[in-house]
Amino acid sequence: MPATDAFPQRDPLDASAALATLHPALATESAEETARQVIEAAHQRSQRFGLESSRTPDASPLARAEMDQTLEKSRVLRVHAAPVMESLYENIINTHSMVVLTDAMGTILHTLGDGDFVERAQRVALQPGVSWAEQNRGTNAIGTAIAEAAPTTVHADQHFLRANHFLTCSATPIFDPRGEVAGILDVTGDFRNFHKHTMALVRMSARIIENQLFDNAFQKAICIHFHSRPEFIGTLMEGIIACDQEGRVLAANRGALFLTGLGKGALETHTFSSLFGMPLNDLREHYRTVNPTPLTARLLNGMIVGLRADLRTNQRWITPGFAASQAPVTPAATDHAGPPPINDGGAAASLFNPPGGHQDERHAGRSNRLSSLRYLNTGDPQMQAVIAKAQKVIGRDIPIMVIGETGTGKELLAQAIHNDSPRARMPFIAVNCASLPDTLIESELFGYEDGAFTGARKRGSHGKIVAANGGTLFLDEIGDMPLQLQARLLRVLQERVVTPLGSNKSIPVNVMIICATNRNLRDMIARAEFREDLYYRLNGLVVKLPPLRDRTDLGAIVSKILLNEAAHGARYTVAPEVLDAFHRSRWPGNFRQLTNVIRTAIVMADGDQVIRMDHMPDDFIEELEQPMPEGMTPRAAPPSATPAHGLAPGLTDFAAFVPPNAPGMVGPTSDLGGGRFAPGAGLPPQPAAMPAGLADVMPRGDNGFAPPRPDHGAAPYAGNGAHPGGAPFPGAGSFPGERAQPGGWPAQPGWPAAGADMAAAGNAAAATPGNPTAGAQPRPGEPGWPVGRSLDQIELELIRRALETHRGNVSAAARALGISRNTIYRKFPELGQRTTDAG
């Protein structure tokens, strides 16, 4: 691909902008003349390729395997382009047009457009897998933009092939951080609807993608954002220069080339100090101060610029979601009626959530940079109500408290709120109060002065609250915050200042607080374990995330996860009996558990793209066998919960990617209200026999352990479940004595007792004031004593069980077992002990 050392100058619109400063007519004339020459040259090339305008060359899409490779190669581009394309499409909706993304060779990766037009476009092979390079399709905006490495409009009969004369196309290259063409973004429509502004939209959108690619490529570099008008920093116009830790320039975006007036090669011979006239250390020192003031510098060409630096040593800045701040347009995805037909030949998975196996990006996305409230809407009315409430307070100084069981997506919601807020360009810092030892929470949160305590880092630390300054602080498991720190946190919230440990200086801070808990804070207040004043400070807006078992959009969620987990273009579907089993499951681990079950099943399916019951993990089946705790009703598949078109709102984004499923199978497009399989057609098989691995651990019963006690799983949870905010907190109750909860398993008396540490631990986990049954446990050699299992396995089971009993509350489980939280995190790394900053 052509390297573009001077791409700003080659950009006709930039050139005409310069001429426009002399006289507007000059700019128009110049642009028209350039465009004419470009088309003429393209026609000549088309003829040289042996094309004839009256004959439309054959254009079969790439074979599946080749397409998969093409999609995989352009994964990063697609990940960053997808949300931008969506927003772009929202601008052109109902104009008989479509948005097209191609790779650098012109092969279409992804299209998104009005249904009627997409069909017409397919007739001329404007569809995924087909190459629109000039060699294949003659003069056209995509192919000619690649040839020219510049934005190109090709209108009606300017297309070389007669068959394409009904089109008008505006395409622009997307440059990667090295200045090479990474792909083409194009809007194609019916020529009768041509609009000059389309190209401007396409170019702005391409710039957004370029800036995101840049940000993604230099996550560990020092990034300098600058502009002669400081208010333009953070906009599409800003210059960005990435430097290594020694200050050597690694790369620059288009804006930087334009502002410095240097070519790419020339710029890369510079260092930070030679360009900005200040030593790198001064910059570092400046950013060590809290609330650093904006810096100004003089560029080599004499231009005075404002600059902001991302040092990215301690934590990453979170790039805002597109819709949050940079979008030229921002209507919500659901503003328009019906889903836009989207087609990428099966690439949906990675567009909205990088698939597993690409941990770097997913990790970058600990920030979930693509996460936005709109993506959380998969059709459940309770969830829609949560989203609507959150949207109302966004941008206001109202703290948000998210409650919900473990794994219901509390952190994801917090991140989405942040990403959709005006703070999106500032840090999102998550602190898990349960995963840090009490002694560390204080210094982690509030920071400390140089030498404040033994082991303190030289030069101190500002702490997470200061790190979140300007952005959002997410306090997960707030109920686990030690009492004495609650008072300090309250002071921060009231006075908006932080005083680091060992310091007498107060640092002003401005943070949005979102906290989360799966504990009943009201009860904690009653037990004097949580400060009431802090509670009222935190619960500005209280939203409760429904547990998975109560959601009506399970089908949509399964589809979404299947798409996310799909690797290499695979398209998984679940058999009807699996979906039915999913509907019957209690999902105590909620999203985390469902994702793991699906992930494991995909592996078990071993290439088979239809997930069946025999692919399900043993513990899922085992759990399914257990009777529902009293008071909990199995949920029926809720076809009526989804819109008439059969797709849950959030799923419209990608459902259409998936081809029709095999008859009777439930896949991403078929299980959502459309009912492609007849209810009952595939009756769920009876749960499989007790998996051997568990059967020999414990007597059969609840969860493969002991038979449930009749007095468990009944009333204690139903009542007295007021949760912060006053509404009932179904499934939570007051957890008297940390008893079992609905959705988890009743505490069991079936654990081995005397003679085994683990058994004692098991009792500790399970015994409650109302259940002093430890002495009744089987002893070694007695029926029920686990044989054939290693201590390790038993330990894991005990921890798992304690976690379930305590609704995933690691601290409570650790306390009950008499082990440290770290041990639990070590044994279950998927619980993700979060050092929890944004990076």
Ligand X SMILES: Nc1ncnc2c1ncn2[C@@H]1O[C@H](COP(=O)(O)OP(=O)(O)OP(=O)(O)O)[C@@H](O)[C@H]1O
Q: How far is the CB of 309 from ligand X (least distance, A)?
A: 31
Using the minimum distance from each CB to ligand X, give the nearer residue, 199 or 556.
556
Q: How far is the CB of 830 from ligand X (least distance, A)?
A: 9
Using the minimum distance from each CB to ligand X, give the nearer residue, 237 or 332.
332
Residue 746 burial by Cβ neighbours in a 10 Å radius (0-12, 13-18, 19+): buried
Between CA 737 and CA 805 the distance in angstroms is: 11
Q: How far is the CB of 714 from ligand X (least distance, A)?
A: 26
Using DSSP's 3-state secondary structure scheme, residue 654 falls into coil
Using the minimum distance from each CB to ligand X, give the nearer residue, 408 or 741.
408
Using the minimum distance from each CB to ligand X, give the nearer residue, 264 or 807.
807
Using the minimum distance from each CB to ligand X, give the nearer residue, 759 or 824.
824
Using the minimum distance from each CB to ligand X, give the nearer residue, 476 or 837.
476
Q: How far is the CB of 405 from ligand X (least distance, A)?
A: 7
Q: How far is the CB of 577 from ligand X (least distance, A)?
A: 23
Contact (Cβ atoms closer than 8 angstroms) between residue 324 and residue 84? no
Both tokens of 301, joined, read 């060409």
| Residue tagged 């087609």 (tokens) | 343
- DSSP per-residue codes, 269-321: T-BHHHHHSS-HHHHHHHHHSSSPPPEEEE-TTS-EEEEEEE--SS-PPPPPP
Phi/psi at 432 (5° precision): -95, 105
Both tokens of 368, joined, read 């979930």
Phi/psi at 803 (5° precision): -65, -40
Between CA 150 and CA 384 the distance in angstroms is: 42
Both tokens of 370, joined, read 């693509």
- DSSP assignment letter at 253: -
Using the minimum distance from each CB to ligand X, give the nearer residue, 513 or 516.
516
Between CA 127 and CA 26 the distance in angstroms is: 38
Q: How far is the CB of 80 from ligand X (least distance, A)?
A: 19
Using the minimum distance from each CB to ligand X, give the nearer residue, 365 or 673.
365
Q: How far is the CB of 704 from ligand X (least distance, A)?
A: 23
Between CA 644 and CA 673 the distance in angstroms is: 8
Phi/psi at 34 (5° precision): -60, -45
Q: How far is the CB of 418 from ligand X (least distance, A)?
A: 13
> Which residues are at the interface with ligand X (CB under 6 A)?
376, 404, 406-412, 476, 516, 518, 560, 591-592, 595, 808
Contact (Cβ atoms closer than 8 angstroms) between residue 100 and residue 78? no
- DSSP assignment letter at 50: T
| 402, β-bridge pairs | 516, 543
Question: ∠ CA(337), CA(340), CA(343), 5° rounding?
Answer: 165
Packed helices 197-217 and 12-20: angle between N→C axes, nearest 10 degrees: 120
Between CA 136 and CA 46 the distance in angstroms is: 9
Q: How far is the CB of 831 from ligand X (least distance, A)?
A: 7
Using the minimum distance from each CB to ligand X, give the nearer residue, 427 or 704.
427
Q: How far is the CB of 477 from ligand X (least distance, A)?
A: 7
Between CA 707 and CA 748 the distance in angstroms is: 8
Q: How far is the CB of 498 from ligand X (least distance, A)?
A: 24
Between CA 587 and CA 788 the distance in angstroms is: 28
Using the minimum distance from each CB to ligand X, give the nearer residue, 128 or 409.
409
Both tokens of 658, joined, read 């998936």
Q: How far is the CB of 599 from ligand X (least distance, A)?
A: 11
Q: How far is the CB of 231 from ligand X (least distance, A)?
A: 35
Q: How far is the CB of 609 from ligand X (least distance, A)?
A: 20
With CA atoms as reference, report the closest residue to 717 among 793, 790, 770: 770
Q: Is the dihedral of CA 785, 788, 794, 797 positive or negative?
A: negative
Q: How far is the CB of 837 from ligand X (least distance, A)?
A: 15
Using the minimum distance from each CB to ligand X, give the nearer residue, 595 or 773.
595
Using DSSP's 3-state secondary structure scheme, residue 112 falls into strand
Using the minimum distance from each CB to ligand X, give the nearer residue, 376 or 507.
376
Using the minimum distance from each CB to ligand X, give the nearer residue, 169 or 651.
651
Question: ∠ CA(733), CA(739), CA(745), 5° rounding?
Answer: 95
Q: How far is the CB of 119 from ligand X (least distance, A)?
A: 31
Regarding beta strands 610-611 and 573-574, do their DSSP bridges make them parallel or antiparallel, or are they unpaired? Answer: parallel
Residue nearest to ligand X (CB): 409
**Residues whose CB is less than 8 angstroms from the CB of residue 467 and which lie 6 or more positions away in sequence, other chains included:** 314, 315, 427, 429, 837
With CA atoms as reference, report the closest residue to 526 among 765, 715, 812, 723: 723
Using the minimum distance from each CB to ligand X, give the nearer residue, 476 or 619.
476
Using the minimum distance from each CB to ligand X, give the nearer residue, 207 or 544.
544
Using the minimum distance from each CB to ligand X, give the nearer residue, 476 or 580.
476
Q: How far is the CB of 765 from ligand X (least distance, A)?
A: 18
Question: ∠ CA(124), CA(128), CA(133), 5° rounding?
Answer: 65
Count of positions (residues) in the chain:
839
**Residues whose CB is less than 8 angstroms from the CB of residue 434 and which lie 6 or more positions away in sequence, other chains included:** 476, 477, 480, 809, 810, 811, 821
Using the minimum distance from each CB to ligand X, give the nearer residue, 188 or 368.
368
| Residue tagged 């990063």 (tokens) | 76
Between CA 839 and CA 15 the distance in angstroms is: 39
Residue 165 burial by Cβ neighbours in a 10 Å radius (0-12, 13-18, 19+): middle
Q: How far is the CB of 412 from ligand X (least distance, A)?
A: 4
With CA atoms as reference, report the closest residue to 550 among 683, 415, 405: 405
Using the minimum distance from each CB to ligand X, give the nearer residue, 560 or 709.
560
**Residues whose CB is less than 8 angstroms from the CB of residue 579 and which lie 6 or more positions away in sequence, other chains included:** 554, 555, 558, 637, 666, 671
